[in-house]
Amino acid sequence: MTSMNTATHNAVETAEAFSHLPPLAINPAVRAAIDQILGELRRAQVALTGARPADAHKAESYAAWMRRNNELRGRPTMYPYVGAGFGHGPLVQLADGSVKWDMLSGIGVHMFGHSDARMVEAAIEGALSDTCMQGHLQHNTDVLAVAEILAQEAARASRLRHCFVTNSGCMANENALKICQQKTQSAARILAFADCFMGRSTTMSQIGDTAAYRQGLVLNTLVDYMPFYDPALGEESTQKTLSLLKQAIARYPKQHSCFVMEVIQGEGGFNVASREFLVALMQTCRDASIPVWIDEIQSFGRTENMFAFETLGVGEYVDVVTVGKLSQVCACLFTPEFNPGPGLLAGTFSSSTSAYHVGRRALELLRTGDYYGPTGRIAKLHEAFRRNAQELVQRRPEFFPPVIDGAGRTLPSFIGGIGAMLRLTPLGGDKDKLGALLKVLFEEGVIALTCGHGPYHLRFLPPLGVMDPAQFKPVFAILEKALERAR
């Protein structure tokens, strides 16, 4: 009897594990073929162990690729990047044969790096489904599976219960704004933090606090910007922003549809707010019946909890949350009170079937693995970055002159960020110098970006799902070489 029960239990577990897969993906012959593909992938990846220069024989063809790329786009791209479609964790191979350490991860999208066998397997399974794209009117079990994981994880530390999926972070933010506007009966104004970034749609470009991103647009979105938390001022920073918030509410009573908050600013400089700061603002919004919307498009999954609002302990105040990037599929989550009326949220596409399969696999690995908590993989990755960065700062102080912020103060540290959102500030945080450094860094074999609005910082978004903390050592060796060339 025991043997039969065990066998039955195992059969049920197997059935549940494959319940989200298209029927063909369960076929033994197909599974064997998938295993063979993954085996060949792993064998090919053995050759990728570090950065390497381009193949001289491919220079002409690569230059042709870049000419086509630049002509089609109408301008050169920031980097001469055309991928070969192959990599190994944090390493990516370009079409010119070069291999680079990818410390940008598609600005956070490629959480499991390049050519991860688990993600490739999920993508193949998605390709065996009946449609390439999933929709809101007709969708398969894939959509429900991803939405359910997001809703379950969000509910752990908040009242969020519902999840509407979509194919981009910008669209998730558009949906969040619509929900808030409907809830507040068309309130026209929006509260947001200075230096925020919201996306590239017409409306989100206006809310985002970067003038270049809205140049030439018709400005018809009314935004009141509040100062973000300043750790150098502490409680004084909280009181300053709180005072300005109360002034805006008094000046425009019942006219704000929401306060959209990046509790960890991405483009703004990987700035982190304190819980006390956030609670003071959120409680004031609650008292004024202003919805609190947290934008986690970049921070989602990258702190010591899956949601940054849980890491910062503010889940009880949250009405709407948007997530994206590393989840592959983006989403807007909301409480029962903010469940909108019929017709407000819709769309032909929600995302691709392969994105749902890869996103589900990534989310499952994150919530069942050892990524989160004070001793999790993300915490260890953060610690390794800080250790390598501090060693570089101490060994090569000539690369790290004082960094002056917008208020004329010297920054207390060259190293910042939280979780797997990492920053370093060489060359005084000068925009032009860092821009030149990034190009040299790319040539030497590391892909990164900047963040901040003065001072500017080097931004690192390593593939947290696969990167070993020890791999920061070769990355920093290349960074030191690039600094020698660029300064």
Q: Residue 7: is its pLDDT beyond 50?
A: no
State the amino acid at position 399 in one-letter form: F
Q: What is the CATH number of the domain that holds 446?
A: 3.90.1150.10
- Name the 3-class secondary structure at 40: helix
Q: Which of 108, 85, 215 is nearest to 169 (CA)?
A: 108
Average pLDDT over residues 299-309: 96
Contact of 327 with 359, CB cutoff 8 Å = yes
Q: Of the ranges 2-11, 84-93, 280-289, 397-406, which one carries the lowest mean pLDDT score?
A: 2-11
Report pLDDT for 334: 98
Residue 354 scores a pLDDT above 80:
yes
Are 298 and 267 in a shared domain?
Answer: yes
Owning domain of residue 437? 49-108+370-487
In this structure, are strands 292-296 and 320-323 parallel, antiparallel, or unpaired? parallel
Please indicate, yes or no, if residue 4 is contained in any of the structural domains.
no
Residue 328 in any domain: the answer is: yes
What is the average pLDDT across 282-308? 97
Residues 6+ apart with CB under 8 A from 362: 111, 112, 119, 326, 327, 328, 465
- Identify whether residues 322 and 428 lie together within a single domain: no
One domain for residues 68 and 205:
no
411 and 364 in a common domain: no
> Residue 282 — pLDDT band, cuts 50, 70, 90?
very high
Query: Quick one: 145 and 64 in the same domain?
Result: no
The secondary structure of 287-333 as a DSSP string is HTT--EEEEETTTTT-SSSSSHHHHTT-GGG-SEEEE-GGGSSEEEE
Query: Is residue 114 included in any domain, yes or no?
Result: no
Residue 406 is given by DSSP the state T
Q: Tell me: the pLDDT tens digits for 157-198? A: 999 999 999 999 999 999 999 999 999 999 999 999 999 999
Please tell me the predicted confidence (pLDDT) of residue 406: 86
Q: Are both 381 and 299 inside the same structural domain? A: no
d(CA 352, CA 133): 4
219 with 345, same domain?
Answer: yes
Q: What pLDDT, on a 0 to 100 scale, did the predictor assign at position 189?
A: 98
Domain identity same for 237 and 310 = yes
CA distance 477 to 319: 45
pLDDT (tens digit per residue) in 216-268: 999 999 999 999 999 999 999 999 999 999 999 999 999 999 999 999 999 99
Q: 335 and 324 in one domain?
A: yes
Q: Stretch 103-119: mean pLDDT, rounded?
A: 96
**CA gyration radius, the chain:** 23
282 and 339 in one domain? yes
How many separate domains does the chain show? 2
Domain boundary among 319, 346, 368: 368
Helix (H, G, I), strand (E, B) or coil at 424: strand
Residue 16, domain member (yes or no): no
* Residue 113 resides in a domain: no
Point out the domain boundary residue: 343, 368, 393: 368
Residues 312-331: tens digit of each pLDDT: 999 999 999 999 999 999 99
Q: Which residue has the tokens 């991103």?
A: 213
Classify residue 236: in a domain, yes or no.
Answer: yes
- Is residue 300 domain-resident? yes
Q: Which of 319, 334, 368 is the last residue of a domain?
A: 368
Based on the domain organization, do 249 and 307 belong to the same domain? yes
Are residue 417 and residue 469 in the same domain, yes or no? Answer: yes
What predicted TM-score, i.e. pTM, was given to this entire model? 0.93
Average pLDDT taken over every residue of the chain: 94
**Above pLDDT 90, what percent of the chain?**
93
In a domain, 25, yes or no: no
Q: What pLDDT is recorded for position 19?
A: 61
Do the Cβ atoms of 118 and 270 come closer than 8 Å?
Answer: no
Dump pLDDT digits (tens) for 413-437: 999 999 999 999 999 999 999 999 9
- CATH number for the domain spanning 337: value is 3.40.640.10
Residue 14 has pLDDT above 80, yes or no: no
Cα–Cα distance, 279 to 229 (Å, whole number): 12
